[in-house]
């Protein structure tokens, strides 16, 4: 499944992964192009395994995976040089402060100490830890730890950023700030992002495209905006009268109308606006009395639930 016409940064073909007898990924074939992509799926769907395979942490035995033009089976180090990972768990080294930790991360990639220190200060300011950068990590809140993990992943200026549940355990303002950072990195700084999460709003807010995984299989691969456009606008009408006739009239014009309690749910065909409903109501005159009209919308959540159910 291809996500865009741009040259893909991640390509997998028939990728299978298993832990012992438990098969986690089943013939995953996918192409991810530059930009922000969400990797969405319920717990245990294989998201983290796919990320680890991309990084070369788990050897590829069946199928193939290429990341940024490098083979995941034989060029893991070249891949990791160009990737930044924000792991799900805390994984911080105690006894350090944020500057030391980020500098150390840069040196592990191969940056000189001078470059790593300079860059550590830059990215720590960028992620909002400028004032707290000399504090011991043990005193950091969960939100600060998540920001620090982002900083250590960005220190060597990767081409691709892999984020594994980056908003876990964060309070709403912290979560918003983190999502804003992710959006900024991908949209204005030219760093591609692969965001693995089970939180749909995170993907909706930050990603252009989404890959939905279920039980180790890719069940949907779509652009987030196109998803919403294709679904069209949805309205719930409630009241009294001949809703059957109204439904038939709207269906005759190419729209979907299904009966709900005391009314109708109308899904307008792509490109149509609410005036279509007003016109149909005018035609029905007093035969239909609408007391409640609200746009129900069709979020990614509907399609996600539909895809994994």
Partner 1 sequence: MPIYDQGYRRWDGEIQPAPWRWWPITRQGVLQFLPQRKYLLLLGISWVVMLFRGAQLFTYLRGREVTQRLSEALGGAISFEAGPGFYWNAIDKQMLWVVLFTIMVGADLIASDRRNKALQLYFSKPITPNDYVFGKLGVIAAFQLIALWVPAMLLWLFGLMLEPTGAYLREIWSVPIAITLWSAVVMAVTGMLMLAMSAIGQRSVFISVSWIIFFGWGPFQLVILLLREFTGSQYWGLVSLHESIGQLGHWLFGLDPPWEFHPALSLLMLVAAVGICYGVVRWRIKPVEVVL
Which tokens go with 309? 């159910």
Number of amino acids touching partner 1 (CB under 8 A): 47
Q: In angstroms, what is the minimal distance from the CB of 44 to partner 1?
A: 12
Exactly one of 171, 176, 184, 258 binds partner 1 (CB under 8 A); which one?
Answer: 184
Q: Is 52 in the site for partner 1 (CB under 8 A)?
A: yes
Q: In angstroms, what is the minimal distance from the CB of 40 to partner 1?
A: 21
End-to-end CA distance of the chain: 20
Q: In angstroms, what is the minimal distance from the CB of 57 to partner 1?
A: 5
Q: Is 156 in the site for partner 1 (CB under 8 A)?
A: yes
- Nearer CB in complex with partner 1: 63/128: 128
Contact 189, 183 (CB under 8 A): no
For every residue of 135-160, DSSP letters joined together read: SBGGG--HHHHHHHHHHHHHTT--SE
Residues of 189-222 as b/e, b for ≥16 C-beta within 10 angstroms? eebbbbbbbbbbebbbbbbbbbbbbbebebbbbb
How many residues appear in the chain?
A: 309
Torsions phi, psi for 170 (to 5 deg): -95, 150
- Nearer CB in complex with partner 1: 142/283: 142
Locus of tokens 């009209």: 293
- Nearer CB in complex with partner 1: 83/203: 83
Q: In angstroms, what is the minimal distance from the CB of 309 to partner 1?
A: 26
Contact set with partner 1 (CB under 8 A): 19-20, 22, 52, 55, 57-58, 76-78, 80-81, 83-85, 87, 89-95, 104-105, 107-112, 115, 119, 122-123, 125-126, 130, 152-154, 156-157, 184-185, 189-190
């Amino acid at each position: 499944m291809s996500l865009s016409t741009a040259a893909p940064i991640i390509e997998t073909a028939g990728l299978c992964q298993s832990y012992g007898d438990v098969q986690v990924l089943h013939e995953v074939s996918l192409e991810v192009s530059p930009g922000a992509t969400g990797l969405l799926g319920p717990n245990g769907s294989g998201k983290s395994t796919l990320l680890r395979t991309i990084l070369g942490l788990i050897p590829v035995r069946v199928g193939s995976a290429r990341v940024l033009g490098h083979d995941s089976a034989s060029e893991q180090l070249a891949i990791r040089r160009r990737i930044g990972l924000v792991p799900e768990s805390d994984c911080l080294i105690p006894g350090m402060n944020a500057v030391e930790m980020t500098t150390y991360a840069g040196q592990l990639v191969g940056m000189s100490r001078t470059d790593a220190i300079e860059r550590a200060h830059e990215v720590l300011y960028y992620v909002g830890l400028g004032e707290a950068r000399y504090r011991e990590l043990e005193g950091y809140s969960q939100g600060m730890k998540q920001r620090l993990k982002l900083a250590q992943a960005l220190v060597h200026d990767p081409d691709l950023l892999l984020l594994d549940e980056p908003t876990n355990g964060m309070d709403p303002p912290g979560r918003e700030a983190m999502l804003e950072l992710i959006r900024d990195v991908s949209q204005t700084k030219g760093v591609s992002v692969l965001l693995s999460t089970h939180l749909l709003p995170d993907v909706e807010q930050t990603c252009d495209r989404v890959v939905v995984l279920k039980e180790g299989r890719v069940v949907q691969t779509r652009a987030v905006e196109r998803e919403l456009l294709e679904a069209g606008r949805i309205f719930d009408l409630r009241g009294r009268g001949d809703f059957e006739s109204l439904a038939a009239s709207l269906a005759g014009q190419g729209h979907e109308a299904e009966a709900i309690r005391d009314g109708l749910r109308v899904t307008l065909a792509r490109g149509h606006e609410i005036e279509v409903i007003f016109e149909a109501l005018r035609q029905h005159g007093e035969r239909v009395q609408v007391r409640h009209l609200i746009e129900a919308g069709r979020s990614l959540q509907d399609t996600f639930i539909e895809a994994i159910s």
